[in-house]
Chain A
């Protein structure tokens, strides 16, 4: 009898099964593009649909006065539950300013499903950027360049929220869509305006932000345009201390056609870094290079 009563009591815990949703009834959103168009928000949603065992990326666009309203409308037209938990990429453009950022941040912070670890990028053409390549391709493009060339910055929604509340600059990787999609430096958002940073300057910004992973540096030998000094920066650390920026580089000499000594290599590399870093900071720059490889003197 006791077991029967226990079983009956336990059945009340099965009521959770009542609200379950089949995977087929979910619209799994992988990437979103948000822009403002004449006081209305325009959203591009990238969804993956499976047809004849093939995954097809489909872009749906809609307009509305708020992001919540657009997603509610979409839910009505799609006849499925919108599922944001697997969101991997958010793309914005220059129509997004303070008010719009606040709307975006509020939407994602108040949404229990989303996780703020997805990447945020900037594009000149949101629809084409999402249509041309899948979100996976874009994410890997940013990730690889961040780790291998240091020519971009990986910005997650966590960083955007933090920088927005701290009133700091927001750095977003720029996905330029002309004939093809290309990563072309950074876009910086500050004081309601968007500015450009060219890809060759991003490395120095990464030094300032202590984001450097690894990259390669080439220097044309004096007097011979066909000869190069080729360095690989294995590791780099930077530290902001009051009025100083301390930088330590671990360098491997890959090619030394110029037959330079370690002291000369050190000087060339230091001069180059100091000149370029002055664009980003007024602090006194102290650089320490540790040269590894076969060209020890």
Chain B
């Protein structure tokens, strides 16, 4: 399959962005900066040793994938049930996401890539619209040196390092091409801008209080003086972003499994089994989370 640099960048960008949004509360500006530097160093080191054929690499990625997919499915379901479909049951939200993933993963890489590239246009357009709509609500007085404060700098740095490295490996594996350092840098810069944007609209205090501050900023938006209550439209952005992550992450999970299991029928059954396990496990944890 022909891949170009732009596709590679888009995949990395949205993978990193969705993981960044899912872990927004565990990050800080300083954490993002230090995390980017640390991940650059780790990637440079890993490039020197030939990791791509070692079994340990696949096992680590496999375990990380299962854990991260479960946690992310849980978080995305909670995000949807909390903000978009309040009366809807969690099981159905989770099931819809899983069915979408299942359908597209079986359709193959080409279909996934087409879906992702198509949705990326919508997300880019919606993000720019959201940014423009938020300009009147920016308050630069909120941007002081306090925004560099962090609760736990080590944890925040490690979280962002993990996010960057995981999305780097996922992109490299999915596109058969390494994500460039340029895309790593641009994505980190975008994440910092998003973080600063949220703080300059809500203030640091409110950013720390709200569970989804990046969604709350749209509650203030009023277009042309009378179009308001449009945060649901902008929340579709985040939803597409999270779908982006789920699709690639689950596809790569199947890809790693295929390295160990050569028979396709066996592979499909095992993947389905893992999917059901992740679905059930995420449901069990979400019921605890919401209660």
Residues of A within 8 A of B (CB): 9, 12-13, 15-16, 19-20, 109, 112-113, 115-117, 158, 161-162, 165-166, 210, 240
CB within 8 Å for A158 and B85 given contacts A15-B92, A166-B205, A210-B141 = no
Contacting A at CB under 8 A, from B188-241, are: 202-203, 205-206, 209, 216, 219-220, 229
Contacts of B99 in A (CB 8 A): 9
Contacts of A19 in B (CB 8 A): 87
Contacts of B152 in A (CB 8 A): none
Contacting A at CB under 8 A, from B77-100, are: 82-83, 85-89, 92, 95-96, 99
Tell me which of B87, B209, B219 contacts A161 (CB under 8 A). Answer: B209
Residue of A nearest to B83 (CB): A112
Interface footprint category on B: 20 to 34
Q: Are A117 and B220 in contact (CB under 8 A)?
A: yes
Q: Are A13 and B85 in contact (CB under 8 A)?
A: no
- In whole angstroms, how far apart are the Cα atoms of A210 and B205 in the complex? 20
Closest 4 CB pairs of A and B: A19-B87, A165-B205, A115-B219, A16-B88
Among B89, B205, B216, max chain A CB count under 10 A is at: B205
Tell me which of A13, A109, A113, A158 contacts B96 (CB under 8 A). Answer: A13
Q: Are A12 and B205 in contact (CB under 8 A)?
A: no
- In whole angstroms, how far apart are the Cα atoms of A112 and B92 in the complex? 20
Q: Are A15 and B203 in contact (CB under 8 A)?
A: no
Residue of B nearest to A112 (CB): B86
**Chain B: minimal CB distance from A240 (Å):** 8
- In whole angstroms, how far apart are the Cα atoms of A240 and B95 in the complex? 53
Q: Are A158 and B206 in contact (CB under 8 A)?
A: yes
- In whole angstroms, how far apart are the Cα atoms of A142 and B99 in the complex? 50
**Chain B: minimal CB distance from A81 (Å):** 11
Chain B 28-63 interface mask (CB, 8 Å, partner A; 1/0)? 000000000000000000000000000000000000
Residue of B nearest to A109 (CB): B209
Contacts of A16 in B (CB 8 A): 85, 87-89, 92
Tell me which of B83, B87, B205, B219 contacts A117 (CB under 8 A). Answer: B219
Tell me which of B82, B203, B219, B229 contacts A162 (CB under 8 A). Answer: B203
- In whole angstroms, how far apart are the Cα atoms of A95 and B175 in the complex? 63
**Chain B: minimal CB distance from A7 (Å):** 14
Residues of B within 8 A of A (CB): 82-83, 85-89, 92, 95-96, 99, 141, 202-203, 205-206, 209, 216, 219-220, 229
Tell me which of B92, B220, B229 contacts A12 (CB under 8 A). Answer: B92
CB within 8 Å for A162 and B92 given contacts A19-B87, A115-B219, A116-B219 = no
- In whole angstroms, how far apart are the Cα atoms of A189 and B46 in the complex? 57
Contacts of B89 in A (CB 8 A): 15-16
- In whole angstroms, how far apart are the Cα atoms of A109 and B216 in the complex? 11
| Known A13-B96, A16-B85; 10 more pairs at CB < 8 Å | A13-B92, A112-B82, A116-B219, A117-B220, A158-B206, A161-B209, A162-B203, A162-B205, A166-B203, A210-B141
Residue of A nearest to B203 (CB): A162
- In whole angstroms, how far apart are the Cα atoms of A116 and B92 in the complex? 29
**Chain B: minimal CB distance from A83 (Å):** 12
Contacts of B206 in A (CB 8 A): 158, 161-162, 165
Contacts of A20 in B (CB 8 A): 87
Contacts of A109 in B (CB 8 A): 209
- In whole angstroms, how far apart are the Cα atoms of A166 and B85 in the complex? 32
- In whole angstroms, how far apart are the Cα atoms of A132 and B69 in the complex? 56
- In whole angstroms, how far apart are the Cα atoms of A19 and B87 in the complex? 7
Q: Are A165 and B141 in contact (CB under 8 A)?
A: no
Contacts of A117 in B (CB 8 A): 219-220
Residue of B nearest to A113 (CB): B86
Residue of A nearest to B221 (CB): A117
Among B203, B216, B229, max chain A CB count under 10 A is at: B203
- In whole angstroms, how far apart are the Cα atoms of A166 and B141 in the complex? 14
- In whole angstroms, how far apart are the Cα atoms of A44 and B282 in the complex? 42
Among B83, B95, B99, B206, max chain A CB count under 10 A is at: B206
Contacts of B88 in A (CB 8 A): 16
- In whole angstroms, how far apart are the Cα atoms of A19 and B96 in the complex? 18
- In whole angstroms, how far apart are the Cα atoms of A210 and B140 in the complex? 12
Residue of B nearest to A9 (CB): B99
Q: Are B202 and A158 in contact (CB under 8 A)?
A: yes
